[in-house]
Amino acid sequence: MLRWLLGSREAHNGVEKSAVVDIGEEQTQNPYTELSVLQGHNDIVRFLLQIDESRFASACDDGSVFIWDVQTGDILCELRGHTQKITAIVAWGASDILQGKTDIILTASSDKTVIAWDCDSVQQVQKATDFHSTVKTLLVLQSLDVWLSGGNELRVWNREFNLLCETGYFVDGGISSLIELPKNCVAAAIGKDLIIFKLSVASRESDQWDVSEVRCLTAHQDIIRSLITVNDLTFVSGSHAGELIVWDALDWTFKAVERNFSEILSPQDAPQEIKLLQTPEEISVQHLASDEEVGKTESQV
Q: So what's the pLDDT on residue 16?
A: 39
Number of helical H runs and strand E runs in the chain: 1, 24
End-to-end CA distance of the chain: 23
Residue 232 scores a pLDDT above 80:
yes
What confidence tier does 29 reach under pLDDT thresholds 50, 70, 90? low
Mean pLDDT of the 29-34 span = 63
Q: 293 or 48, which is more confident?
A: 48
Q: So what's the pLDDT on residue 98?
A: 45
Which is it for strands 45-50 and 32-38: parallel, antiparallel or unpaired? unpaired
**What is the rounded CA–CA span in Å between residue 61 and residue 40?**
13
Q: So what's the pLDDT on residue 191?
A: 92
Q: So what's the pLDDT on residue 10?
A: 43
User: H-helix or E-strand containing 275?
Assistant: helix 272-275
Q: So what's the pLDDT on residue 188?
A: 96
What confidence tier does 2 reach under pLDDT thresholds 50, 70, 90? low
Mean pLDDT of the 21-45 span = 65
User: H-helix or E-strand containing 272?
Assistant: helix 272-275
Q: So what's the pLDDT on residue 218?
A: 93
CB atoms within 10 A of CB 61: 16
Query: pLDDT digit string (tens) for 81-123?
Result: 999 999 999 998 765 444 445 678 999 999 999 999 998 888 8
Residue 276 scores a pLDDT above 60:
no
Torsion of CA 242, 243, 248, 249, to 10 degrees: -40
Q: So what's the pLDDT on residue 197?
A: 96
Query: pLDDT digit string (tens) for 138-148?
Result: 999 998 989 99
Q: 142 or 288, which is more confident?
A: 142
What confidence tier does 59 reach under pLDDT thresholds 50, 70, 90? very high
